[in-house]
Amino acid sequence: MKIGEHIKEIRISKGVTQTELSEKSGIAVRTIQRIENSEVTPSIYSLNAIGAALDVKLNEFPMGANDGKFEFKIVISNFSNLFVDIKTLIKRNMKTLLVIITVTFGLLSFKDLKTLFVNLTDNSTVSVSTINCGSKNECDIELVKKDVKGKVLWKRIIGGTSYDKAGQVVRTKNGSYIVVGSTSSFGKGNYDVLVAKVSSNGDILWQKTYGEFLNDYGLRITAVEDNLYQIEGTKQICATFNVSNDCYDQEWLFKIDESGLIK
């Protein structure tokens, strides 16, 4: 049995609703729903908080092979030959590598690379990423600006107190930044598209959500014309009002201006 199913079973056996569990544990209702549906792996903080609310020790529950977090490792058995092997590999497959690189960059049209990692006119860079997953704040969106030498000029956290995931960032003509991502911290649904505008000094000017009750995700942002930006994401469509097995993700495109208004 997965940890989420175990939590749900204990909650029901004690006659506690998801809303009551949320009030007792301090964990958002949407987060509890995703944990019980095995959509996310709960952090140690969440396990302790929910366990205390239900008067059980959840951190002693064995997690299955697929319940833990993904871990990727690279093991080099003969480091002394590493660079020789890489040089030989590239030399033997140069034509193939050039074709792969050309096709890959052609398909991306440099759009994804540009919005994930923006090079500015002063050779500084701005990047957006998802951090702190599994901590008390679950996941955060972090925007970082660095100078040409890699020194951090400023950092800003965007989102709320639950699960927030980074998408991309684009620079506006006046030097500010618009970040797109996804959030379960606030909004109408389980997940909503999150868009925030940040000044050149790192001040958050505004942040807004877009979406309905089900899971809506913000993935990419592109400047399409003066003061107009296209948001690319997905909108969840379900046969019932709640998330079920009869759901699918549909591509969702919409445009906003620099004030966040949908056009």
Report how far residue 195's alpha carbon sits from residue 186's, in angstroms, rounded to the nearest whole number: 12
Residue 244's pLDDT is: 66
Residue ranges for the chain with pLDDT beneath 70:
59-97, 99, 102-122, 135-137, 242, 244
Helix 44-54 vs helix 29-36: crossing angle, to nearest 10: 100
- 125: CB partners within 8 A, 6+ apart: 117, 118, 119, 145, 146
Number of H-type helices and E-type strands within the chain? 7, 11
Residue 75's pLDDT is: 38
What's the pLDDT tens digit per position in 210-231?
Answer: 998 888 999 999 999 888 999 9
CATH of 110-257, one of 1.10.357, 2.40.128, 3.30.70, 2.40.50: 2.40.128
Listed residue (105, 118, 106, 103) closest to 222, CA to CA: 118
| Domains in the chain: boundaries | 3-60, 74-108, 110-257
Q: Which fold has domain 3-60?
A: 434 Repressor (Amino-terminal Domain) (1.10.260)
Residue 162's pLDDT is: 86
